[in-house]
């Protein structure tokens, strides 16, 4: 604990690094998630083109929710700075 | 498409080659320019943040700026209204008010009290974003009212041109978003949701337009998206059904999860807050990131100025191409974010309006099971 | 960092402008637009419906027309057939009548001939009778010149009468 506080005191640049790593992880995770959604949606539409508009709406909603979580993470990282 | 790409690449290399040839003569010039190197981070943050004047463009040796009114209420001196140009004197100070250069109020007007402390007064100044908002609101009202007049004048004739496009947008929002998400009672909410969509969309587009009424980072400002999110929050919670409130305060979970310590209630309440919070952050982050990327790509031109004219010229071409590309992407994003904001708002409203499911079915099946001779 | 903290001044102006926009647009613009568009949708639906109805009506009319035509055709055929039949009948009738008439006339003629023949016969007979009476007279005058013979004669005649009487 002391070591950590000492480290944090001496190297104030580390918080920026932490924020950057946090943002990176969040973005990668969100990208994977949204990619999965896109893949599933394309497969679904290819199988059932007549359900395309429904699938698209659902896809946008789920992608938006995932994006929201990722943006939360990014904002929290922004608060670190 | 291939041909266009080829042309672009060719153009890039030819410019680079031309610049290479001229390099020897130009070196001294570029060196002399490099002293006023610009701080890109500062520039971008400056644009993304708000300001008290509206910087339009630079002429040869001066810049054209609209000074916007500053409206302040401080506990010591009451209401103060003056133009922001008064702040730019030698002392950077007017009636004790000045723009803070550092500390946590950087860029905002602070009041220096008699004890030397910096205090932030209640600041209702018409800043760049506020002015842009007012102008865009006015334009939006005029546009939509005009469209509605032209549609009302002859409702049976399908419209062409601008009114037709607006009508198409309106119908798309109503038929694709509002109707499926909210259901039967959609007519009650469609004016709010349509206003939301057009307000966001119009301000997004205006933010992409670099000349006077546009160019401000309006929807990429958290205050703006906060108000929009609060609007949706109010609509969701003021028109929620009984079931919606029951699900928050007495959800269908084991009793121990809600009685001694209201765990579920806390989770549900946080859930009601995160929905509009996500809306707020999404719009803000997307538009802000778009502006930041466009600015960053544009400043490539000026950043590479000191690296020699060959690199500078080729980077200029790259920068222009990428900026145009990103601008197109931003056009798309402007629409998508308005669409998503409206879509999620209507989905949340629709969820909050859910009625208690009919219990009849359950009872019927139970009765059937209870009938004699009906063994499983 | 300062980007993430809402600014009260801007929140205020945003609320004001968004409120005004919402008030004006939600009150005057969008309901009117939606109403107009709904009206148009209704109008178009109505038009399509009435067009379909008109089409159906037209089809019905066409069908009726065809039916009427067919009926008329049938009627015509029947009438033609009837006329042919009537014509035949009339012809037949005329034939029959003519032959009847002819027969009648023939019969009449025959009758007349008969009558005439009778008459002629009668006249001839009377003539013959008269002639015979004359002749008889002459003969009688000749024969009955003497009384004897007269007496004989009367006796014979009387006998004859008695015989015919008994």
Q: pLDDT at position B1, please? A: 52
Contact B282 A53 (CB under 8 A): no
B69-74 and B122-123 beta bridge pairing: antiparallel
Closest CB from A53, A57, A64 relative to B282: A64
Q: Give the mean model confidence (pLDDT) for residues B319-333.
A: 91
Q: Is the pLDDT of residue B30 over 70?
A: no
Averaged pLDDT for residues A16-36 = 91
Structure-token match 């009955």, residue found:
C144
Write down the domain spans for chain B. 69-123, 128-352
Q: What is the pLDDT of residue B53?
A: 79
List the single best residue of B102, B103, B127, B194 to mutate versus C (max C Cβ within 10 A): B194
Assigned token pair, B175? 């038929």
pLDDT at B248: 86
Q: Which residues in C lie closer than 8 A to residue B104 (C-beta atoms)?
A: 1-2
pLDDT at B363 > cutoff 60 = no
Within 8 A by CB and 6+ apart from B332, the residues are none
Q: Report whether pLDDT(B27) > 50.
A: no
* End-to-end Cα, chain C, rounded Å: 181
Does B180 reach chain A within 8 Å, measured CB to CB?
yes
Average pLDDT over residues B151-172: 83
Q: What is the mean pLDDT of chain C?
A: 86
CA separation for the pair A46, A40 (Å, rounded):
10
Which range has the top average pLDDT, A52-56, B247-251, C62-66? C62-66
Q: Kindly determine whether residue C18 and residue B124, on different chains, have CB atoms separated by under 8 Å.
A: no
Long-range contacts of B208-216 (CB under 8 A, 24+ apart): B208/B290, B208/B327, B208/B330, B208/B331, B208/B334, B212/B56, B213/B132, B213/B135, B213/B136, B213/B139, B214/B132, B215/B132, B216/B54, B216/B128, B216/B129, B216/B131, B216/B132
> What is the structure's pLDDT at A7?
52
Other beta carbons within 10 angstroms of residue B149's beta carbon come to 14
Cα separation of B194 and C27, whole Å? Answer: 12
Mean pLDDT of B218-227: 90
pLDDT at A2: 60
User: Which stretch of DSSP H or E encloses residue B100?
Assistant: none
Would you say residue C58 has pLDDT above 90? yes
CB < 8 Å & 24+ apart, contacts of B334-339:
B334/B201, B334/B204, B334/B205, B334/B207, B334/B208, B334/B287, B335/B201, B335/B204, B337/B200, B337/B204, B337/B219, B337/B282, B337/B283, B337/B286, B337/B287, B338/B197, B338/B198, B338/B200, B338/B201, B338/B204, B339/A60, B339/B177, B339/B197
Q: What are phi and psi of B164, to 5 degrees?
A: -65, -40
**What pLDDT sits at residue B77?**
77
Q: Residue B103: its pLDDT value, please?
A: 64
Between CA B174 and CA C33 the distance in angstroms is: 11
Is B190 in contact with C30 (Cβ distance < 8 A)?
yes
Cβ distance of C22 and B195 shorter than 8 Å: yes
- Across C127-151, b (16+ Cβ under 10 Å) vs e yields eeeeeeeeeeeeeeeeebeeeeeee
Residue with tokens 């339009």: B56
Tens digits of per-residue pLDDT, B268-279? Answer: 899 899 889 889
Residue contact A75–C4, C-beta within 8 A: yes
Tell whether the model's pLDDT for residue C71 goes beyond 90.
yes
Q: Is B229 on the interface with C (CB under 8 A)?
A: no
Residue B331 has pLDDT above 60, yes or no: yes
Mean pLDDT, residues C65-81 taken together: 93
pLDDT band for position B22 (cuts 50, 70, 90):
very low
What is the pLDDT, as a whole number, of residue B19? 40
B118 in helix, strand or coil?
A: strand
Q: What is the mean pLDDT of residues A40-49?
A: 94
pLDDT tens digits, one per residue of C134-153: 887 777 777 777 777 778 87
- Confidence band for B25, pLDDT divided at 50, 70 and 90: very low
d(CA C93, CA C86): 10
ipTM of the complex, rounded to two decimals: 0.79
CA dihedral sign, ordered B87, B92, B95, B96: positive
User: Cβ separation of A75 and B278 shorter than 8 Å?
Assistant: no
- pLDDT of A5 higher than 70: no
- Asked if B155 has any chain C CB less than 8 Å from its own CB, the reply is yes
Report the sign of the C-alpha dihedral through residues A58, A59, A62, A65, in that order. Answer: negative
* 3-state secondary structure at position B98: strand
Rounded to two decimals, the pTM is 0.72
Q: Is the pLDDT of residue C117 over 80?
A: yes
């Amino acid at each position: 604990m002391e070591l950590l506080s000492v480290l944090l005191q001496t190297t104030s640049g580390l918080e920026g690094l932490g924020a950057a790593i946090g943002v990176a992880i969040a973005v990668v995770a969100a990208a994977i998630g949204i990619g999965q959604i896109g893949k599933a949606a394309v497969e679904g539409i290819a199988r059932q083109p007549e359900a395309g508009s429904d699938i698209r709406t659902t896809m946008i909603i789920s992608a938006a929710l995932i994006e929201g979580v990722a943006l939360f993470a990014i904002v929290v990282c922004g608060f670190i700075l | 498409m291939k041909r266009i790409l080829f042309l672009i690449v060719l153009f890039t290399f030819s410019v680079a080659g031309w610049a290479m040839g001229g390099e020897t003569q130009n070196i001294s010039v570029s060196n002399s320019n490099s002293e006023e190197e610009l701080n890109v981070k500062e520039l971008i943050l400056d644009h993304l943040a708000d300001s008290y004047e509206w910087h339009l463009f630079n002429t040869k040796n001066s810049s054209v700026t609209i000074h916007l009114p500053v409206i302040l209420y401080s506990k010591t001196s009451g209401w103060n209204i003056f133009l922001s140009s008064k702040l730019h004197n030698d002392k950077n100070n007017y009636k004790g008010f000045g723009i803070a250069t550092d500390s946590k109020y950087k860029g905002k007007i602070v009041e220096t009290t008699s004890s030397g402390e910096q205090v932030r007064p209640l600041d209702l100044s018409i800043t760049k974003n506020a002015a842009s908002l007012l102008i865009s609101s006015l334009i939006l009202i005029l546009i939509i009212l005009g469209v509605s007049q032209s549609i009302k004048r002859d409702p049976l004739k399908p419209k062409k041109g601008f009114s037709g496009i607006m009508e198409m947008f309106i119908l798309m929002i109503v038929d694709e978003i509002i109707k499926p998400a909210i259901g039967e009672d959609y007519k009650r909410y469609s004016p709010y949701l349509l206003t939301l969509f057009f307000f966001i969309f119009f301000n997004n587009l205006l933010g992409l337009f670099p000349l006077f009424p546009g160019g401000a980072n309006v929807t990429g400002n958290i205050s703006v998206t906060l108000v929009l999110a609060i609007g949706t929050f109010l609509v969701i919670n003021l028109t929620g059904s009984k079931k919606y409130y029951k699900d928050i305060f007495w959800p269908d979970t084991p009793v121990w999860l809600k009685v001694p310590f209201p765990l579920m209630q806390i989770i549900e309440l946080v859930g009601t807050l995160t929905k509009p919070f996500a809306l707020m952050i999404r719009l803000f982050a997307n538009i802000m990131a778009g502006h930041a990327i466009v600015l960053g790509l544009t400043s490539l031109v000026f950043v590479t100025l000191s690296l020699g004219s060959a690199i500078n010229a080729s980077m200029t071409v790259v920068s222009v191409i990428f900026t145009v590309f990103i601008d197109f992407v931003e056009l798309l994003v402007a629409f998508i974010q308005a669409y998503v904001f409206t879509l999620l708002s209507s989905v949340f409203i629709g969820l909050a309006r859910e009625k208690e499911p009919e219990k009849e079915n359950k009872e019927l099946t139970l009765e059937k099971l209870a009938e004699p001779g009906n063994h499983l | 960092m300062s980007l993430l903290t809402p600014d009260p001044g801007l929140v205020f102006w945003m609320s004001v402008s968004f409120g005004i926009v919402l008030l004006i647009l939600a009150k005057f613009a969008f309901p009117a637009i939606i109403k107009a568009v709904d009206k148009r949708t209704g109008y178009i639906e109505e038009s399509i419906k009435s067009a379909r109805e008109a089409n159906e009506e037209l089809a019905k009319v066409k069908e009726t027309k065809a039916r009427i035509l067919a009926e008329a055709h049938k009627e015509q055929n029947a009438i033609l057939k009837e006329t042919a039949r009537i014509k035949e009948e009339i012809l037949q009738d005329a034939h029959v009548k003519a032959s009847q008439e002819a027969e009648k006339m023939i019969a009449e003629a025959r009758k007349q001939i008969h009558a005439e023949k009778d008459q002629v016969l009668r006249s001839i007979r009377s003539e013959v009778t008269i002639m015979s009476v004359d002749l008889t007279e002459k003969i009688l005058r000749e024969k009955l010149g003497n009384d004897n013979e007269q007496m004989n004669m009367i006796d014979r005649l009387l006998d004859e009468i008695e015989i015919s009487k008994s």
